[in-house]
Amino acid sequence: MTKHSRPSRKNRASRLLSGSGYMRRILANPPLPGTVAIAHVYHDDWCSIWKTGMCNCNPEVIYEYPDLRGEKNGRL
């Protein structure tokens, strides 16, 4: 196989995530607009994502909103 004919890792991951409607289910509950959020996705123990990479459960998505203000010269 040549370099150009083999799918990149990004393309393979994208195909796995979009093929089962995974991203649609996650984005059904989007984070708050104008914020930075870390999405924690919790799958069931029996979900196929652990074996095949294709999700067949209804994952629980919990957003964490980190404090990005930081400190400058000892003050907020």
pLDDT tops 70 at residue 13: no
pTM: 0.58
| Residue 9 confidence (pLDDT) above 60 | no
Question: Where in the chain are the domains?
Answer: 9-64
Smallest CA-to-CA distance from 34 within 65, 60, 61 is with 65
Contact residues for 37 (Cβ-Cβ < 8 A; gap 6+)? 31, 63, 64, 65
Tokens of 9: 């890792």
CA 67 to the chain's CA centroid: 20
What would the pLDDT profile of 19-50 be if each residue is shown by its tens digit?
Answer: 556 677 777 888 888 888 888 888 899 988 88
